[in-house]
């Protein structure tokens, strides 16, 4: 987790911007222009099957690029949500790859919010998100290693146990990357399974926290935190405090701030004694900030994206300042 913690120190900002584009979050001028572009590019073939996914994928990429340009230098990291891109099929996944790559090129640490989990060989294949693809071919031009994903960390789901998490950790180690395992999520129905009480008095989320802590033990970095982090929702502050007390070497990725209801005070209680050990995600409050402004100046894609950027930048600075105030 050292690279992320260094990036947080450099920006004095423990926040990450979630890039979760939806059709409603893209200014109309951008979408309309991408529909026109896609239409033009398909005129020759006469095959318009992929018009909508292609136009939306391009819109998502341009939108993400604008957000990244707006927040680079202010925040240490971004967290693209693959679900939004995957909704569009392989074209969308390609836009996700390009978005992650662009963010890395701007010096941002990229947390791929993929929440993957599977057994044995399948988990090992998902872990290529972190390790990329290595192959030695008798072709001198073929690169020995390629990385289609451009992620510095990914999120994983614990329901299948350690088998499903270990391949990600194994892939993270040699590439100096990280993994965040869901422990207590921020959504209303999180309680249905995660808050069940066990015969030993613990709750499921605490037991999952202990499993994460065990797997994390031999990965501790220079700053005292291991490569396996935990996702702990801001919307369940009591659970977050309980987990912090039991997981001193586990870094927390905290969703649920802002739009979902978590406050800076809730979050401060999940930090360590130095106000460190956490990174707080905000998505809609940053990337949708433009929707609260006057839209009359958004007559074309460039003007629209300029408004998106200015609003995202202001919102990211506000969030940074709120977190700084709460954590000192």
Q: Which is nearer to a copy of itself, 139 or 245 (CB)?
A: 139
Q: Which of 41, 104, 106, 187 binds a copy of itself (CB under 8 A)?
A: 187
Q: Which is nearer to a copy of itself, 5 or 208 (CB)?
A: 208
Q: Minimal distance in Å, beta carbon 225 to a copy of itself?
A: 23
Give the residue among 176, 170, 134, 174 at the shortest CA–CA distance from 153.
176
Give the residue among 242, 283, 263, 254 at the shortest CA–CA distance from 326.
263
Q: Minimal distance in Å, beta carbon 325 to a copy of itself?
A: 27
- Binding mask 253-292 toward a copy of itself (x if CB under 8 A, else -) reads ----------------------------------------
- Binding mask 30-49 toward a copy of itself (x if CB under 8 A, else -) reads -----x---x------x-xx
Residues 218-237 that bind a copy of itself (CB under 8 A): none
- Binding mask 50-69 toward a copy of itself (x if CB under 8 A, else -) reads xxxx--x-------------
3-state secondary structure of 208: helix
Question: Cβ of 203: how many Cβ atoms within 10 Å?
Answer: 17
Measured between alpha carbons, how far is 4 from 12 in angstroms, rounded to an integer? Answer: 12
Measured between alpha carbons, how far is 24 from 41 in angstroms, rounded to an integer? Answer: 24
Q: Minimal distance in Å, beta carbon 181 to a copy of itself?
A: 10
User: What token pair was written down for 57?
Assistant: 């994928």
Measured between alpha carbons, how far is 63 from 76 in angstroms, rounded to an integer? Answer: 19
Give the residue among 132, 251, 111 at the shortest CA–CA distance from 183.
251
Measured between alpha carbons, how far is 326 from 322 in angstroms, rounded to an integer? Answer: 6
Q: Which is nearer to a copy of itself, 115 or 324 (CB)?
A: 115
Is 115 annotated as catalytic? yes
Give the residue among 306, 304, 296, 312 at the shortest CA–CA distance from 33.
304
Q: Which is nearer to a copy of itself, 7 or 168 (CB)?
A: 168
Catalytic residue among 79, 115, 177, 291: 115
Q: Which is nearer to a copy of itself, 183 or 309 (CB)?
A: 183
- Binding mask 95-134 toward a copy of itself (x if CB under 8 A, else -) reads -xx---------------x-xxxxxxxxx-xx-xx---x-
Measured between alpha carbons, how far is 12 from 26 in angstroms, rounded to an integer? Answer: 30
Q: Which of 107, 143, 248, 261 binds a copy of itself (CB under 8 A)?
A: 143
Question: Cβ of 264: how many Cβ atoms within 10 Å?
Answer: 18
Is the alpha carbon torsion for 282, 283, 287, 292 positive or negative?
negative
Q: Minimal distance in Å, beta carbon 264 to a copy of itself?
A: 21
**Catalytic (active-site) positions:** 115
């Amino acid at each position: 987790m050292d690279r992320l913690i260094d990036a947080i120190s450099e920006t004095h900002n423990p926040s990450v911007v979630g890039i979760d584009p939806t059709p409603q979050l893209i200014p109309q001028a951008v979408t309309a222009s991408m529909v026109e572009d896609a239409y033009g590019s398909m005129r020759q073939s006469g095959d318009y099957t992929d018009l909508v996914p292609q136009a939306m994928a391009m819109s998502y990429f341009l939108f993400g690029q604008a957000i990244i340009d707006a927040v680079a230098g202010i925040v240490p990291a971004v967290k693209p949500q693959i679900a939004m891109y995957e909704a569009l099929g392989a074209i969308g996944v390609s836009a996700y790859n390009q978005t992650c790559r662009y963010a890395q090129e701007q010096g941002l640490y990229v947390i791929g919010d993929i929440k993957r989990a599977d057994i044995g060989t399948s988990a090992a294949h998902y872990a290529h998100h972190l390790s990329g693809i290595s192959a030695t071919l008798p072709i001198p031009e073929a690169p020995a290693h390629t990385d289609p994903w451009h992620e510095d960390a990914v999120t994983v789901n614990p329901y299948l146990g350690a088998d499903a998490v270990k391949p990600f950790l194994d892939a993270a180690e040699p590439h100096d990357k990280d993994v965040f395992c869901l422990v207590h999520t921020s959504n209303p129905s999180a309680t249905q399974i995660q808050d069940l009480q066990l015969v030993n008095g613990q709750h499921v989320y605490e037991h999952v926290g202990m499993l994460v802590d065990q797997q994390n033990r031999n990965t501790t970095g220079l700053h005292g935190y291991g490569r396996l982090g935990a996702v702990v929702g801001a919307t369940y502050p009591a659970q977050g405090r309980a987990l912090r007390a039991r997981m001193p070497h586990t870094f927390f990725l905290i969703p649920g701030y802002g739009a979902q209801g978590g406050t800076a005070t809730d979050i401060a209680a999940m930090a360590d004694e130095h106000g460190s050990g956490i990174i707080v995600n905000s998505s809609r409050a940053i990337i949708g900030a433009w929707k609260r402004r006057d839209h009359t100046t958004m007559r074309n894609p460039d003007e629209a994206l300029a408004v998106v950027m200015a609003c995202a930048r202001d919102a990211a600075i506000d969030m940074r300042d709120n977190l700084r105030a709460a954590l000192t």
